[in-house]
Structure 1
Amino acid sequence: MRENSIERRAPAALIPARGFTLPELVIVMILAGLMAAFALPKFDAALSLRNDAWKDQVQAAMRYAQKTAVSHRRLVCATVTTTSITLTISTTRGAACTAGLAGPGGGLVESSDSSDVTVTLSPSGVIYFQPDGRVTSDEAGSTATTRTFSFTGASSLVLYGETGYVE
């Protein structure tokens, strides 16, 4: 009976080896180091491009609001939060901003950023673009105000009150 149990066992040479060899592990570690040295800086550059893209959207929205206020001779309001911008326009001269502003593509001008990039407006509040091109702190247009947009990971933008120029 003992002979039967010996015959049923497979020889050690037929059992496949498991695991990795030392040279395979060394090669994998070298490749991981090379990828870290070359891929991570490119990934960081891609993140900074995303920061610049949001900054460019804010800049374009402010320029569009100012040009629309002048061309339509209407008050345009820009509501800026940390992650979105919404533009509205007055329906008649001297009225408050109540209608959504249509962009060049026909849709409403509403931009938002889903990444971790945020914008801080100083001084905070709604931005009013007057029909004469000035940027003011109120609907009446009595006080021109210069606004600064600060971004995480990107340079700041300045919106000049007297001219409406964005830099």
Structure 2
Amino acid sequence: MSHRQQGFTIVELITVMVVIGVLSAVALPMLTSGGNGMAGAAFRNELASTLRYAQKSAVSHRRLVCANVTTSAVSLTIAQAANQTACDTQLQGPDGSEVASRDAAVTATGGLVGMIYFQPGGTISTNGAGTATAAGVINVTGQPAINIQGATGYVE
């Protein structure tokens, strides 16, 4: 009669220790920092997505779309008619809700925090007339910068 020993092999124990070490090195700082690491990443992604939506909406509606980027929020408005140099109506998303994002736990900084104008031709400017091309970055606390190239309409 053979007795089979039960337990874990040394390889299994080392594998489990490595996995626990990796999780503690990556996940634990995010969880103990009050979630600011995850909040920053989420807000950065929402901000970039909202700016891309503004650019696509300006082109598809053939109207000026204005993005008001503050240190902790972004909201979109659209011109009621073509050839306007100001926005006067809240832009609705595909589901009919307001297109906006806000998070007081993070801070956006950079030369393009403020009003950004998405022109019907696909360019991005710092004025409603479209004469001053926007180029620069928006930084969100602890996250990679959002690059904006107004001449091409590139947002990322």
- Could you tell me the TM-score, scaled by structure 1's length? 0.72
Residue 100 (structure 1) aligned to one of 71, 84, 90: 90
Moved more, 138-147 or 62-71: 138-147
**Structure 2 spans left out of the alignment, 5+ residues:** 1-22
Max Rg structure:
1
**Structure 1 spans left out of the alignment, 5+ residues:** 1-37
% of aligned pairs identical?
40
Contact 1:79–1:85 (CA under 8 A) maintained in structure 2: yes
What's the RMSD between the two structures over aligned residues? 2.1
- 1-side partners of 2:138 and 2:126: how far apart? 15
Contact 2:55–2:118 (CA under 8 A) maintained in structure 1: yes
- Aligned residue pair count: 131
User: SS state of the match for residue 144, structure 2?
Assistant: strand
| 2:18 match | none
Instruction: Give structure 1 regions of 4+ aligned residues with deviation exceeding 4 angstroms.
Output: 38-41
| 1:74 match | 63
Q: Does 1:91 align with 2:80?
A: yes
- Could you tell me the TM-score, scaled by structure 2's length? 0.76
Higher RCO structure, 1 or 2 (CA under 8 Å, sep 6+): 2
The one-letter code matched in structure 2 to 1:134 is: T
- 2-side partners of 1:144 and 1:103: how far apart? 26
Larger helix proportion of the pair: 1
CA displacement at 1:40 relative to structure 2: 8.1
